[in-house]
Amino acid sequence: MGYVTSRVARLRRNLARIQEQLDALNASFLEATESGVESYAFDSGEGSQRTTRRKLSEIRTQIDRLEAEEESIINELYGMGLINVRLRRKSPC
């Protein structure tokens, strides 16, 4: 397996992993916005449990970061986006 083949395979695995994480985070974000509950406590008398949700801003920040990473991988996989720029300046006469 050559470098290019292994690189493409690794990028595809990373893309699949990122997309799974995005699906889970988007589901969490929607659930959190619908319920509005940030934490709860449950005490049955025999034991207790306390749960706290992540803040919406933290979830949104992570979604934005993963979407940027996803876009970067897609651009590299499919040869999209800015690949190379060469600038030349003319010398003043």
Q: Is 10:1 a contact under the CB 8 Å cutoff?
A: no
Q: Where are the domains of the chain?
A: 3-77
Among the residues of 1-92, which ranges form H helices? 3-35, 56-78
- Structure confidence at residue 16 (pLDDT): 96
pTM equals 0.67
The per-residue pLDDT for range 33-86, each reduced to its tens digit, is: 877 766 667 776 777 777 776 788 888 999 999 999 999 999 889 887 666 678
CB atoms within 10 A of CB 62: 16
Distance CA 27, CA 19 (A): 12
